[in-house]
Amino acid sequence: MKFVDEASVSVEAGKGGDGCLSFRREKYIEKGGPDGGDGGDGGSVYLIGHEPLNTLVDFRFQPNYRADKGQPGSGKDRSGAKGQDLYIRVPCGTSVFDESTDIFLGDINHQGEILLVALAGKKGLGNTRFKSSTNRAPRQTTKGEPGETRKLRLELKLIADVGLLGIPNAGKSTLISKVSAARPKIADYPFTTLVPNLGVVRLDDEKSFVMADIPGLIGGAADGAGLGVQFLKHLSRTRLLLHLVDLAPFDESDPVENFHTIERELKRYSEGIANKKRRIVFTKADLLGPQAEERAEYLAGRLGVEEYNLVSTVTGLGIDELIYQIEEQLRESKENSSSSQILQEVHEFSSRRRQEVKNARKNRDREDELPVVRYEQ
């Protein structure tokens, strides 16, 4: 399933129609009064929640939207037609920000919920409006006002029920391909996964959940290392985290140190994400054979955890048990107030990072503008 959880779109409301300059002209009526009609209001732009959508990928191909403009007025006091409002469908659970000011505009959480994002331009007035006892034949009209223009940033708040967390090459893509119909790219090198992959894990006709394969994290991810801040943000949009720990990393690194490295990055990014519910899953048990269980117990002791899962996507060891435990935990868990807190932390962190990048660019440009002093020999 192709997935995009952030997109930029430009919206423009319709311009109001101009007022009309016209006078009544009929047989035997030599000096008819003004009869210029008003223009029509422009169309506004709204976002509307649509449950069947689960990704923002469509906005990559169509990022610009414009509502209809109002029609101009005409003679015989006829008003112009109002521009048709534009409704743009977005997935439920979308947060909307003004990209230029970084101001939060609102959330769309339910089917049919609407949010005004660009206000229509007001109509112009015809000369009939300016008739008075002292001005019987006004020639004054007004133009329609331009519609509001905005650049928006759309962010999905919840992309999946379960997010897979771990260092690159920990077995996340292999696991999601084993338990669902998702077919992500799998290879024996870091950062094979470059975008989130979604897979639906179906236990029966009535029980299922969505799992997200998040690109791997490394030390310094909160500062942009590896695949950077963008993919830490994906973790805030899941209900449960599975932290996958490779029993035998190919680079012979310490699994416990790898675990703590990721935990430190999560805390730097957001305390809310660091405190999310999670399960520890030891992967690649088939590589160690009979010693896998002993190795997992040893690592769990060093990590200070009592509950964990031991799986192998090659032999299928522990896969079914893991899936049913996840489904039970999701069913028992309830949405709490920490979700909005996490989203606020994520937004503030991302805003700080964007500002830091802007300041760094300004400083670099300022250094480039310094005069070059040449010394003649």
Burial code of 245-281, b = ≥16 C-beta within 10 A, e = fewer?
bbbeeeeeeebeebbebbeebbeebbebbbebebbbb
Chain-centre distance of CA 376, in angstroms?
A: 57
Candidates 192, 187, 193; CA nearest to 212 is 193
Two tokens, residue 57 = 């990928």
Q: Which domains does the chain have, with CATH numbers?
A: 1-157 (2.70.210.12), 160-333 (3.40.50.300)
Alpha helices, H only, the chain: 58-61, 172-179, 229-235, 255-269, 271-274, 292-303, 319-332, 338-368
The predicted-structure confidence for 111-154, as pLDDT tens digits, reads as follows 899 999 999 999 999 999 999 888 888 999 999 999 999 999 99
CA 356 to chain centre: 21
The model's pLDDT over 85-113, given as tens digits with 9 standing for 90+, comes to 999 999 888 889 998 888 889 888 888 99
**Whole-structure pTM value:** 0.59
**pLDDT at residue 358 in the model:** 63
Mean pLDDT, rounded, for 262-289: 81
SS (H, E, C) 146-205: CCCEEEEEEEECCCEEEEEECCCCCCHHHHHHHHCCCCCCCCCCCCCCCCCEEEEEECCC
Q: What sign has the CA pseudo-torsion 123, 124, 126, 129?
A: positive
Determine whether 12 is exposed, middle or buried from the number of CB atoms within 10 Å of its CB (0-12, 13-18, 19+).
buried
Q: What pLDDT does 347 receive? A: 55
**How many Å separate Cα 221 from the centre of its chain?**
19
Taking the C-alpha atoms of residue 234 and residue 24, their distance in angstroms, rounded to an integer, is: 65
Q: Which residue has the higher pLDDT, 243 or 218?
A: 243
The model's pLDDT over 187-208, given as tens digits with 9 standing for 90+, comes to 333 334 445 567 778 877 667 7
Q: Pick from 316, 239, 253, 326: which is nearest to 283 by CA? A: 316
Backbone dihedral angles phi then psi of residue 10, each to the nearest 5 degrees: -110, 130
pLDDT digits (tens, 9 = 90+) for 71-88: 999 999 999 999 999 999
Tens of pLDDT, residue by residue over 156-183, are 766 678 888 887 777 777 888 888 765 5
Report yes or no: 156 and 91 within 8 Å, Cβ to Cβ: yes
Closest CA to 343 of 235, 214, 221, 216: 235
**How high does pLDDT run on average in the chain?**
78
Give the pLDDT confidence score for residue 335 in this predicted structure: 47
Give yes or no for residue 323 having a pLDDT over 80. yes
pLDDT of amino acid 183: 54
Going from the C-alpha of 23 to that of each of 28, 31, 362, the distances in angstroms are 14, 8, 59
Please give the order of strands across the beta sheet that includes 86-90: 86-90, 45-49, 114-118
